[in-house]
Amino acid sequence: MARADSLAVQDSDAVMQVRFEASEPGILTMICDYDSSLPEPMRIGAASVTWRRIDERIARLWLIGAVPRARYPEFMRQRRDLLQPLPVTLQLNWLALSLVRLEPLVAALAGEASDFRRLAERISAGGGEREVLQAVGNTIARIDDPVGASPEWAGLASLLLGLRSLLDDVSRRGDVNSIAGCTERVFEAFHLVDGKVESGLAKLEDHSWWRDARRLGDQGNSALAAAAAEASSCAERVQATCVELDLRRRFPDAGEEDR
């Protein structure tokens, strides 16, 4: 609270005054008093700048209200700002780490055995980032038509098929927006799973991409082995969740022996 109050003083200006209250552990309430000169549509934007400073300087946020922090435009910019300074190869590795974490979910929906450990090893060895992107994209392409899926899971299949299109964009252009957009789709896929079972996978991914970006920015290629090992550990948790949900049985023809 002391650090938050100090930040509020630093960030205060003529059009918005901020104060904080801690109602219970893990919950911080921010009260904004706006000057009447600040138009209503701009008020959330002004508050979101303070949210980002809290996130970066005091403690990572998870939900703002009932909405994941990752969905607010200011935090989409944060993701891209962290990614932008990295060399293109490390940007692709950063995406590949998220895809390793996602791969057990994709494999389950496609009715295939997961290959996340080998993919993590390819990142760790260096030079395997494009292979990871292609492998996960190919597996997504083998997910059956979502129209035939259980209605409660059709949205997840559609989202992943959209991710494959973004991966194609990355292969062609490799720009920051398309790379960051892919990891946002990964987050949303895990968030959909969290809506079915309290897995915590979305929150895990939300912390992991941040840690990967900071580590790659500080240490470069020397961070790949440790980051890949952590991604593999996270993927084990994803795989366990898929087994718990028995996702293979929720998609047509999934889980056949010849797959």
Give the 3-state secondary structure of residue 74.
helix
Q: Which of 33, 35, 28 is CA-nearest to residue 53?
A: 28
110 contacts 143 by C-beta, under 8 angstroms = yes
| Number of neighbouring beta carbons within 10 Å of residue 218 | 9
Kind plus residue range of the DSSP H or E element containing 23: strand 16-24
pLDDT of amino acid 195: 87
Cα–Cα distance between 39 and 69 in angstroms, integer? 23
Structure tokens at 96: 């590949």
- List per-residue pLDDT tens for the chain, 259 residues long: 777 777 765 555 567 888 888 878 888 898 888 888 888 778 888 888 889 999 998 889 999 999 999 999 999 999 999 999 999 999 999 999 999 999 999 999 888 999 999 999 999 999 999 999 999 999 999 886 555 556 667 788 889 999 999 999 998 888 999 999 999 999 999 999 998 888 899 999 999 999 999 999 999 999 999 999 999 999 999 999 998 888 766 665 554 443 3
95 contacts 190 by C-beta, under 8 angstroms = no
55 contacts 45 by C-beta, under 8 angstroms = no
75 contacts 180 by C-beta, under 8 angstroms = no
| Number of neighbouring beta carbons within 10 Å of residue 157 | 24
pLDDT of amino acid 257: 43
Cα–Cα distance between 218 and 235 in angstroms, integer? 24
pLDDT of amino acid 255: 46
**Confidence (pTM):** 0.88
Residue in this structure with the two tokens 């009715």, named with its chain if needed: 111
pLDDT of amino acid 258: 39
Cα–Cα distance between 132 and 137 in angstroms, integer? 8
C-alpha dist (Å) from residue 225 to 14, 93, 124, 165, 206: 48, 11, 4, 28, 20
Q: Which residues pair with 156 in a beta bridge?
A: none
